[in-house]
Structure 1
Amino acid sequence: MTDTIPTTGTRTGYLDRHGVEHPFGDAEAERQVRSDDRAHVFHSWSAQAKIDPLPIAAGEGSTFWDYEGNAYLDFSSQLVNLNLGHQHPDLVAAIQQQAGRLATVQPSMANDVRGELARRIAEVAPGTLNKVFFTNGGADANEYAVRLARRVTGRRKVLSMYRSYHGGTSTAIALTGDPRRWANEPSDPSVAHFFGPYPYRSAFHSTSPEEETQRALEHLENVIVLEGAGTIAALIAETVVGTNGVLVPPPGYLAGVRELCDRYGIVYIADEVMVGFGRVGEWFAVDAFDVVPDLITFAKGVNSGYVPLGGVVISDAIAAQFDDVAFQGGLTYSGHPLACAAGVATFDVFDRDGILDRVRDLGSRVVEPELRSWLERHPSLGEVRGRGLFWALELVRDRETREPLVPFNAAGPDAAPMAEVAAACKAAGVWPFTHFNRVHVAPPLVIGEDELRRGLAAIDAALDVADRYARA
């Protein structure tokens, strides 16, 4: 392990699973974790023999530590889910209290924290989205949203963007546009993909955001007509595309999507698994674009993933269709009390600590001006885009041609430049989120301003590595 990673002066050790305090530097404990992991854990999205997962000993706030005591600022919020940071005392206490009084109950029974969380989600959801179906995470939230849409429309087909990720289960991976879909095909054959807006790399040769909106909507309507509007149950879109680029929709695009769905009788599903619950400074990101979908899917930030939880927020019009007809779906752990208790505590923290205002402030006052200033210094930086505490740095070899720093879906030696950028961030004590030719900025929403500036400074320095590959 590199010795350039700064260590913290506020933590000297960690608790093991028995609650016993150990100092950092316990080589035997780290060896056991590595041994068990390598012998018995089968990791997602990985060639098992080619990975070496970092053993993590502790986490607190915006920081986590390995067993050697190296501290990392978590600039990826793990998988963009840890909105309230590691070991938030209010969330931990809520789970402990709930476990002490009622650890679990089946979903067909009423439960106080499940009902309260559903009510509070409905209170902040837009329009008449007043019912919540709870799932175990984001993938099955999208699965059930599609099932609802198919049931109420009597249609089968679903449209989704090429640049998207909607989950790893059967329908969700079919909805996904990015390369993780390829190895899982054929899956659901009734999914069709389309190009969403991406002004920096426009598929429509647009020269302005407004032109991108117009041409992207014309393209979408052509896809609807050619696929057969009467065959399409739903259109699903990440309100702000997450892993595939932090693509903020240009002005008017989502309103145009809403209008097309209304015109052709298509259910509009907003996938807010990654961007809901404060990530862009709104309870739900659709609020920033003044649109009301028919269904919203969520997970991650609803309780920072402390206990797995997701769900679908359902409009009154769709929910009413199941008043006298049974909905054929369910999950043993739907609305698990421990998960919902952490969700209720999340609402309390957001309200008490002004999290939404805080995210808007830090995003506009600190992150955006800092990132945009880098465009003047780093020839490898092609574009900066984002909102709140969710940003992408698109890295290029040539600003004129916009050639990516690494090829699309690069692996092995082709991906080396991005691997070097990520390594430079980690050596400076910042754990980054990288995907293809991008570095994403997605720290916990509770990050301190000094921590935020320190993390940004580390990424700024790491871009010097990318600059070596850029043609001035």
Structure 2
Amino acid sequence: MGDDSVDGLRETASAARRDDRRHVLHSWSSHGSLEPVVVTGAQGVHFSDEEGRRWLDFSSQLVNVNVGHQHPKLVAAIKAQADTLCTIAPYHANEATSEAARLIAEVAPGDLNRVFFTNGGAEAVENAIRMARLHTGRHKVLTAYRSYHGATTGAITASGDPRRWPSEPGAPGFARFWGPYPYRSAFHSANAQEEGERALAHLADTLMVEGPHTIAAVLLESVVGGNGILVPPDGYLQGVRALCDTHGIVMIADEVMAGFGRCGEWFAVDRWNVVPDLITFAKGVNSGYVPLGGVIMSDAIAETFATRAYPGGLTYAGHPLACAAAVACIGIYKDEGLIERTRVLGETVFGPALQAMQQRHPSVGEVRGLGGFWAIELVRDRATREPLVPFNASGADNAPMTDFANACKKQGLWPFVAGNRVHVVPPLVIEEATLREGLSIIDEALAAADRHCTG
């Protein structure tokens, strides 16, 4: 870090920067090499730093600020709730929490009518797994290799991506399967339909050899998020639902990232008319203004705990400030027509613009997505589909993606870069003109990736 190392911070550095470098351990980072931007404010689809730079937020931070920064209705709801009731133990009822649960149940599919609140997505996944095990009396959970479910013990064990490696051996009772990914098929499929069919056959075989009578749940992201925005082929989720029904297995849809409008639906499963037994949510439920997550459950699973105590809970479950923010956020989705608007933008702006980039840039192997949830997969060679950087690349191996990200930042756009992919995930309130401006910056920045192409 040179002159800004922890032991040699410049006297001119801000107090926020000095205190951060000396006292904060950031997630997924080594504090000796991290150089965080000191954010001083945000508004709409932009945030600002202490050096006066204004960034177009094309990451929605961690794909959670769906209604943008500092939305006045959301801020006002939090302030009003703070004046009334800041916090209360979760064994009480209160208006904000009750109303949030009612509104979430109203937009959830099928008979998912009851909500268990948590502080975030990982805790939601932990509790969904616990519910499935208690409901079925079975212990095993099947999850996909290309998945991420959170960083707590059970959630990170359930995750399929390399972030789980430092935490292994992890919790017991998990087995993995390959989900559909037509561009890099594990099943040598020729097209998306064949990929879906073969992925389902593989899952059926995995259930067979793991023992269906031992399996409590199949846990999967409705649309895979951090591992590539992988949209399942039509029929795949329906097939998973059918397999779960055949064997009495709980289907858990992780919608922490994909839910609440991100895919142009209240929940991504709505696109395929699939009703899981459990849905985990967080992020977009209140756009991250106050930590909140939860599990929405079917009537059948809720009945399991009608006369039997559910053995889990959190001090801040159903926190009034967080739930008041959720009530306001759901109102914003409805009042501003964000769900339908996002679906249309996906079809008329995101998709066409990204497909045009694919034609112009040899580094673009594939674009995919729906709603406001898109990925550009970058390659060195389109013919061989060799990734622009190796799997789980770091340091010098990741230089091409760093070059791309820096080219975006040089023009004032904050990108979401993961592996050999660019995830295009701005706040859903973004105006079309601003969206096109950001897409143009990405288009120009792709020249940095093109320079690393070999084919």
What TM-score results when the alignment is normalised by the length of structure 2? 0.97
The answer to whether the aligner puts 1:37 opposite 2:20 as a matched pair is yes
Q: What is the letter of the counterpart of residue 383 of structure 1?
A: E
The answer to whether the aligner puts 1:327 opposite 2:335 as a matched pair is no
Q: What is the letter of the counterpart of residue 122 of structure 1?
A: A
Q: Count residues with an aligned counterpart.
A: 446
Contact 1:212–1:250, Cα closer than 8 Å, also in 2: yes
Give the whole-Å Cα distance in 2 for the aligned partners of 1:148 and 1:285. 22
Q: 1:281 aligns with which of 258, 264, 267?
A: 264
For residues 311-369 of structure 1, give each alpha carbon's deviation from its aligned partner in whole angstroms, at most 9, with x where no partner exists. Answer: 00010001011111111111110000000000000111111111111101211111110
Matches within 5 A, 1:41-190: 41-190=24-173
Contact 1:238–1:270, Cα closer than 8 Å, also in 2: yes
Give the whole-Å Cα distance in 1 for the aligned partners of 2:158 and 2:45. 32
Q: 2:182 aligns with which of 199, 221, 240?
A: 199
1:189 positional shift: 2.1
Give the whole-Å Cα distance in 1 for the aligned partners of 2:110 and 2:11. 55
1:229 positional shift: 0.8
1:222 positional shift: 0.8
Q: What is the letter of the counterpart of residue 31 of structure 1?
A: S
For 2:7, the equivalent position in structure 1 comes to: none
Q: What is the letter of the counterpart of residue 152 of structure 2?
A: T
The answer to whether the aligner puts 1:222 opposite 2:205 as a matched pair is yes
Q: 2:327 aligns with which of 327, 331, 344?
A: 344
Q: Secondary structure at the match of 2:151?
A: coil
Q: 1:459 aligns with which of 427, 442, 445?
A: 442
The answer to whether the aligner puts 1:372 opposite 2:355 as a matched pair is yes
The answer to whether the aligner puts 1:442 opposite 2:425 as a matched pair is yes
Give the whole-Å Cα distance in 2 for the aligned partners of 1:69 and 1:50. 23
Q: Secondary structure at the match of 1:160?
A: strand
Contact 1:159–1:192, Cα closer than 8 Å, also in 2: yes
For residues 31-84 of structure 1, give each alpha carbon's deviation from its aligned partner in whole angstroms, at most 9, with x where no partner exists. Answer: 211110010001111112111111011100000011111111100000000001
Contact 1:30–1:55, Cα closer than 8 Å, also in 2: no
Matches within 5 A, 1:281-430: 281-430=264-413
CA RMSD of aligned residues (A): 1.0
Give the whole-Å Cα distance in 2 for the aligned partners of 1:403 and 1:103. 52
1:30 positional shift: 5.4
For residues 113-157 of structure 1, give each alpha carbon's deviation from its aligned partner in whole angstroms, at most 9, with x where no partner exists. Answer: 111110111111111000000000000000000000000111111
Give the whole-Å Cα distance in 1 for the aligned partners of 2:359 and 2:265. 30
Q: Indicate the larger mover: 163-172 or 65-74.
A: 65-74
Structure 1 runs of 4+ aligned residues shifted over 6 Å read none
Taking structure 1 as reference, are residues 322 and 433 closer, same or farther at Cα in structure 2, changes over 3 Å only?
A: same
Q: Secondary structure at the match of 2:14?
A: helix
What TM-score results when the alignment is normalised by the length of structure 1? 0.93
Q: What is the letter of the counterpart of residue 418 of structure 1?
A: M
In structure 2, the gaps of 5 or more residues are: 1-9
Contact 1:397–1:403, Cα closer than 8 Å, also in 2: yes
Give the whole-Å Cα distance in 1 for the aligned partners of 2:258 and 2:52. 31
Q: Secondary structure at the match of 2:360?
A: coil
1:106 positional shift: 1.0
Give the whole-Å Cα distance in 1 for the aligned partners of 2:129 and 2:296. 12
Q: Secondary structure at the match of 2:354?
A: helix
For 1:210, the equivalent position in structure 2 comes to: 193
For 1:18, the equivalent position in structure 2 comes to: none
Contact 1:379–1:471, Cα closer than 8 Å, also in 2: no
Q: What is the letter of the counterpart of residue 349 of structure 2?
A: V
Give the whole-Å Cα distance in 1 for the aligned partners of 2:12 and 2:330. 37
Q: 2:251 aligns with which of 254, 262, 268?
A: 268
For residues 370-427 of structure 1, give each alpha carbon's deviation from its aligned partner in whole angstroms, at most 9, with x where no partner exists. Answer: 0001121100000000000110000000000000000000001000000000000011
